[in-house]
Amino acid sequence: MPPNFRPFTSSLSKRLLTGNHPMKSLLAVLAIGLWCVSPSCTFAQINGTEAPIFVWPDLAPGETQRTTGTQLPMRAVDKPPILRIEKIRRPPMHVYPATGNANGAAVLILPGGGFGKVVPNLEGSEAAEWLCQMGVTCFVLNYRTRLPGNTSEPPWKRPLQDAQRAMRWIRANAKKWNLDPGQIGLLAFSAGGQVGAIMITNRDAAYESIDSTDTHPFRPDFAMLVYPWNMYNKETDQLMPVIRVNKNTPPSFIVHTHDDASTSLGSVLLYADMKRNNVPAELHVYETGGHGYGTRERPNSNIGSWKDRATDWLERRLPR
């Protein structure tokens, strides 16, 4: 049994009590409990805060519900398993304290999921394990998912509001976690990466201020975007208009693959704009690997080495 093992009533199982039907929730908890006693259970699957943090004091902007999401059925093809959460109306955030020598830095992690869901282990807690070992405290945000039939606003708007609020919340509560508010970064995957690209290139908040937390800046001090999704507009051969790199855009590390259907052209154009604006940046485009690998290896690809390149990049920026 792993030394840090917690029974299936741990934080992970608690956060999966998201369905409205009691039996469905019980089955989800039992399934995760059995999974976490297997030899493949890792730090990332069994640690984190016991209770989620809610960055909005009550209802999130434009919401009428407080549901934290529903877990979709596991897919047998996913080994190790991949969690997928949909119907999030009140976004929970989970903290993963540094396991190495804490250096006062933190990273907000935005998972992907195409805006209809989020994948909080593949593109959340598994990445947190890597960063926590570097002395970084991690915050994984399950931002709000798309409302069915809502075509009146872009799908990134509410996730962007959640991400900006989360970044402000982390800075407002930095002392509680022994963090340096000037060393708060961002790691964002896929759809979360699209949100991250918008977040680091815009000066304006996506929502009206509600309390003192919103006096803190929402722009991260550094950013890592991993296969940011659909930033490229094929019709215009340009980035999405909302992505506007400027001289205040933070230093960035960007990863993509040549064979990703969401196209590395968006990452290439984003890097080019950073170069034009003298923003420190590093871009890696791997030939193979596809999309949605998180920090995992892929057959016939060296995409799993992106984490090593990011470690080199981070070590030049993290406090010592």
- Indicate whether this model's pTM tops 0.75: yes
Residue range 63-99, pLDDT digits in tens: 999 999 999 999 999 989 999 999 999 999 999 999 9
Residue range 212-265, pLDDT digits in tens: 999 999 999 999 999 999 999 999 999 999 999 999 999 999 999 999 999 999
pLDDT exceeds cutoff 90 at 35: no
Q: Please give the pLDDT value at position 100.
A: 81
Confirm if 106 and 136 have CB atoms less than 8 A apart.
Answer: yes
Q: Which residue has the tokens 């992106």?
A: 306
**At CA 264, angle to CA 260 and CA 268, rounded to 5?**
170
Query: Whose CA is closest to 121, among 199, 15, 250, 209?
Result: 15
3-state secondary structure of 107: strand
What Rg do the C-alpha atoms of the chain give, in angstroms?
Answer: 18
Q: Please report the DSSP string for 44-98 in residue order.
A: HHH-S-SS-EESSSSSPTT-S-----EEPPP-TT-SS----EE--SS-EEEEE--
Peptide bond into 2 cis (omega under 30): no
Query: What pairs with residue 95 in β-bridges?
Result: 139
Confirm if 159 and 93 have CB atoms less than 8 A apart.
Answer: no
Q: Where are the domains of the chain?
A: 53-315
Query: Whose CA is closest to 114, among 194, 16, 60, 224?
Result: 194
CATH class of 53-315: alpha beta
